[in-house]
Structures are given as structure tokens and as C-alpha cells.
Structure 1
């Protein structure tokens, strides 16, 4: 069965613990992790501007990967959103709206072809409202995930700790890759003194995680996470 490394990383627009914006630091972290698929949150995109303001485009070019970007929050001259980078061909992408009266979010679904094997990657950055997070997961995303013709990976910044209701609910449907943690670290935020785990990589019953790690870095206020996952040998 194919094996892929999946990374999830909230890069906070490439603003490090020192308060300075430097996309080279994010790039270096990703080079060291060397994932096949990357789910990024808080990615800055300003059309027509090169360098740090087209972060998904720049990182994909530096890493020689395909990418899809989905805006979440509009800025005066651009947006901040989610991006999925992939070494494999992208079949399609779908933006799922996660409505909230004060803090609307987007889940980016990207279907990829892993050497003839289909895989759906869902990249989320859930809102700060716990009631909305539960509803988004239970009533919007889980039905889509359960109907997927491809194996599924759900990754991102959930803004929720493992003891919270929405995570406990999600654990009854999907598998938290953290149970295979082989590293020294258990929390993901804040990066300089991690106190909570709010970043996750989930697999469904068709996929299997066999290794997981949290990586130390000061390139953002979150720590990057990575899971090694096997997927079945059929496209659909």
C-alpha cells in the first residue's frame, strides 16, 4: 500500500515567535520534515505581489509541489486562508463554507492521485466558537467525509483541545494520529512554550497512521505536526 507523509501547520502568515515575518523559516521547516502533502492554515495571499505575500504560491514553487489556496479572511489588499500543497497530481478541489455569524471559516477539500490511488485531504481552521465548531464538524464536515469515494485525511488547526466536546465526538468517527506519537512533544501551541494540543491529523477507516510527531520550531506560533499514513491500493 502507498505510504505518504502528511504535515499540518498553522504558519500565522510566516510571523515567527520573534514577531518577524520570514517565509524562509517556514520553508526550512518544511524541507526538514519533507512531507508529501501539506495542510497549511493562516496563509497570506496578496494577488500580484511576489515574495512573502503570495505564500502558498512561493512555498509550492520552492518545494516543487502542486497547490490549492482557499481564502478565509479578506484583507484590504488580499486574504488569509488555507492551502494544500501536494507532490501528487490534484484531481479537484472544493471549498466548504463553515458559516458563523462572527467568524466564518472554510474547509478546503483537495482530492489527489497518489500513484493511481485516490485520496481526499480536508484542511480546516475551525473558528473560536465552540458551539459552531461542534456543528461544523458534526453536521457539515462528517457527512461529506463519510460519503467520500476516496480514503480521507482531515487535518488542521481545530482551536480545540482533546477534552472538548467536539473533539471527543470526532474521535468516535475518525482516528487521531496522535495516538502514534513517537516524538518528545505532546502539545502544539504556543510554539515557544506549548501548553495545549489544538492541531490534529485524522484518518478514516480506509487509511492507517503508523507514525506521528510534533516538530520544534519558532517559525510560527504553532508547532508543525506530521503523520505517516498508509492508504489502500484502489482509486475508488
Structure 2
């Protein structure tokens, strides 16, 4: 299998992060096809990819993507949150990164208040130092509000750039998110990303703290993304 990155990468002074709910690699045709997800990742050509629903739901929750192809063809490695488990991440959240660009110095799980098996995953890179947090928030407004407050507490303890990316499970206004976090953050809604066949809801987004450079975001659309998952991926380019 040969999968070549298709999209022009950002300048070396920029960081490209993508977020994608891959629905366990099950497309709208109800076939599990990891190759389609790999090809979408190649199209975006991001430095770091935050995934949701990257593991199967039952049993030991094994990951659904071929790690060998990710590394050999696309140069991606997973931040390892549990070396003893077959999962790509934790509660379906996973972080892919290119070791050739950034050095991973710390990765950890971030517990969130919830009644469901949900949480967040964090990876800290250098140089320069920055943190990426992958999230898949809860299904109810009250749960999501508690989870956002917990993330705000986490961000409030940092003095370096933090980028939160993921499926927020809500089209909540950016202003509401920024109010919960305070004036240290900027919420970014690239556009409608759900449902992939006819996007109408902006469920997938980014929250940035301590970033001062230019940024641009978009929803990645292609022939593949229309049926590879029920979500479209979102991308942000941040200038350091």
C-alpha cells in the first residue's frame, strides 16, 4: 500500500493540527475500512492528528488503524497512553504525531467528570513547548459544561500554548466556551462538520490558549470524507 500526502504542508514555522472523529473506521456504507481513513489523513497532511472513536467499543478496545502503515507511509506515531493495552488511545481518543517534526516529552490522560466512559488525552511537545489535548465531550449540556470547566482549570495551570481539539458534541457558540475558559483562550469553529453526507452542525472545533500568532482553520472536504465517517475532519494552521 502506498499512501502519499496530497495536501501542501504549512510553512516550517507553522503547526497544522487536524481533528477527526473516524467512527471506528466504519463508513456510511457500514463497512470498516481503515484504508479510507489513512487516505484522508494523507490528504490533510497535518503535523498532529487528534482522533475520536479510534478504538473498537467492546472487549479490550483494540485500535482500528494499522500502526505500521501509519509510520511507514505517513510518518505518524501514536502517543502511547497505555503500553499494555491494544487501544490507540484512551476511551477512543488518540493523538498521532510526526516525530520528525516534534519531540514528545510527556503524554497523560486527563480525567473528565462524566457518567460515560469518556476522558481526554494530552501530549506535550518541544521545541517550542506546546500541548495538544484531544477530547470527545459528553452527550448532555450539563456534562459538557462540567467537562469544559475541568479543561479550563487544566489550561489555567499552564504558561505555554495549549490547543484543545476534538468532537464537542454540540454546536455551542464560541462565546460560551470563551466565557467558561476566561479571556486566555480563543475558540475556533471551522464550520459544519456533521453529518458528513450533508453537514449542518459544527460539532468539531478547537480551543487555543496562549497562542498569539496568526491562524486559519477549515473543514476538510473531499470525495473520501463524504462517506469514510459520519464526521468531516477539521484542520487548523497556527503560526508560532
TM range (shorter): 0.7 to 0.9
CA contact (8 A) 2:56 2:63 kept: yes
SS for the counterpart of 2:55 is strand
Q: Distance in 2 between the 1:211 and 1:200 partners?
A: 12
Are residues 1:156 and 2:170 paired? no
Q: Distance in 2 between the 1:126 and 1:89 partners?
A: 27
Are residues 1:90 and 2:99 paired? no
CA contact (8 A) 1:69 1:81 kept: no
Q: Distance in 1 between the 2:35 and 2:161 partners?
A: 33
1:1-236 equivalences under 5 Å are: 2-44=13-55, 53-55=63-65, 57-58=67-68, 60-61=70-71, 62-70=73-81, 81-87=92-98, 88-101=102-115, 103-113=116-126, 116-138=127-149, 140-163=150-173, 167=177, 169-170=179-180, 172-173=182-183, 174-178=185-189, 186-216=191-221, 217=225, 218-231=227-240
CA change 1:80–1:19 in 2 (3 A) is farther
Partner of 2:8: none
After superposition, the CA RMSD in angstroms is 2.9
Q: Distance in 2 between the 1:168 and 1:204 partners?
A: 10
Higher strand share: 1
Q: Distance in 2 between the 1:56 and 1:201 partners?
A: 26
CA contact (8 A) 1:66 1:89 kept: no
Partner of 2:6: none
CA contact (8 A) 2:91 2:119 kept: no
Q: Distance in 2 between the 1:125 and 1:133 partners?
A: 10
SS for the counterpart of 1:105 is coil
CA contact (8 A) 1:153 1:204 kept: yes
1:34-90 CA-to-partner distances (Å, cap 9, x unmatched) read 1001100000169xx9xx94427356424212212558xx99xx9851111111221
Q: Distance in 2 between the 1:26 and 1:104 partners?
A: 24
Deviation larger for 192-201 or 159-168: 159-168
CA drift of 1:124 comes to: 0.3
Query: How many corresponding residue pairs?
Result: 213
CA contact (8 A) 2:25 2:34 kept: yes
CA contact (8 A) 1:60 1:67 kept: no
Deviation larger for 199-208 or 116-125: 199-208
CA change 1:141–1:59 in 2 (3 A) is farther
